[in-house]
Amino acid sequence: MKIAIYFVTSYLLIQISFTVAGGQVPFEDDQGRLRETVVDPNLKTIQLFREGWPLSYPVVRLSGDVPLVLEFDDLSGNQPTFFYKVLHCNADWTLSDLTDQEYLEGYPENEIPGGEPSFNTYYSYLHHTLHIPNENIRLRVSGNYLLLVYRNRDPGDVVFTRRFMVTENRVSIEASAGMPVLSRYRGCCQEVDFTVNHSGIPIDDPFSETTAAIYQNGLWDLGIEGLQPYMVNEGRLIYDYQEENIFPGGNEYRFFDTKNTRIPTYYVERIEYVAPYFHFELKPDNPNPTNNYFSKEDINGRFAIASEGGRDPGVDADYVFVHFRLNMPLPLEGSVYIAGALTNWQFNDINRMEYIPGEQAYRQTLLLKQGVYNYRYLFLPAFSDQFDAGEIEGNHFETENEYLVLFYHRPPGSRYDHLLGHQVVHSGR
């Protein structure tokens, strides 16, 4: 089931779409856009990044660049064989008209190498790694792509999907993110402006040939898509809007560290070994004050896998149970979720918190691989399909956020959207 989520202030309504899991989760929404999703809960710690940069966006150049790396763990113990396909998409993430032969060299369906067993861990798992491109597949054109992973050569048995992009890197993008121009947005929001320099690339009609998108903190569902230039100059397209490019500022992410199983570190209250696994009890959280902003370092909702004294976190980082507590004198009329990359930005029974009246707090436990994690709490009011993003965390223009800007061009006669360039910009810097 897919629900609509809105960030709401008295002045602003921004729609966001998330996936709520209930059984089989489709990877295509009702507009035909191909989405990221995780269907099998036994597959954890799914990451897709530039080789050598685990916190990077999954963006690579069409030629002469490092490959993308997919990593994930299988906790099922069944040792299935995983296969993958790569699908080419339009700028709006709908399936493009290109055939397999037009956008890739090699085989359209390939097997993911067998998993490497975990080493010296209490929780056993198989760690899978895949590089793209590889000897079996190379990408021929730029644009948006969806990586489709499924079991036992059955494309109908999809276990998860991941988005990535291939860029031609033919334009330069100057971008900034900061306080909005309009006063009614200044307390809660951020404005992202940018200019695309396309000298040497003929664009006859920018309003019909080009489109641009902005995404906040690597979250596909918190994006503004289909942007057209506000102003056109010779060799320059200017996107300097006052409302069309506004994002909720949110707040800095909460943080914890489970690398060390002996000594409690950042935001960990205590560690217990309850045979056969480790349990980390986090320090109790409280709702953030509505009108107060406190600066702190975060990794914008992501996580980084690591274990104290380990050599290869892919196989020697253990899985531990992490216990969350959110203090609340009375329960909210609705549901509270733990959100972030640690839950794949999905919302289901796994990350929905339970209110404990005797403790006056919400609680939930997640099984996570050792590392450093960011997270936040999101509230879904009862009888509503609109998340209130500011109810627990607040929204502030000062928040440090990361924005990914993508620029596409479809010249006359072309059958797909060329991704000509991208840029990453931070607010508050």
Is residue 252 within 8 A of residue 119, CB to CB? The reply is no
Residue 371 above 80 pLDDT? yes
Chain segment 318-362, per-residue pLDDT in tens: 999 999 999 999 999 999 999 999 999 988 999 999 999 999 999
CB atoms within 10 A of CB 116: 15
Distance CA 99, CA 114 (A): 28
Distance CA 335, CA 354 (A): 8
Look at residue 386 in the predicted model and tell me its pLDDT. Answer: 78
Look at residue 64 in the predicted model and tell me its pLDDT. Answer: 84
Residue 2 above 90 pLDDT? no
Cβ-Cβ contacts under 8 Å for 276 (sequence gap 6 or more): 122
State percent of the chain over pLDDT 90: 83
Chain segment 257-283, per-residue pLDDT in tens: 999 999 999 899 999 999 999 999 999
Residue 64's alpha-carbon distances to 52, 69, 147, 167, in angstroms, are: 15, 16, 21, 11
Average pLDDT of the chain is 91
CB atoms within 10 A of CB 256: 23
* Per-residue confidence band for 30, with pLDDT thresholds at 50, 70 and 90: confident
The side-by-side arrangement of strands in the sheet containing 354-356 is: 268-274, 277-282, 319-327, 361-369, 354-356
List of domains in the chain: 21-167 (2.60.40), 172-250+399-426 (2.60.40), 254-381 (no CATH)
Distance CA 405, CA 175 (A): 8
Mean pLDDT of 33-62: 96
pTM, whole model, 2 decimals? Answer: 0.92
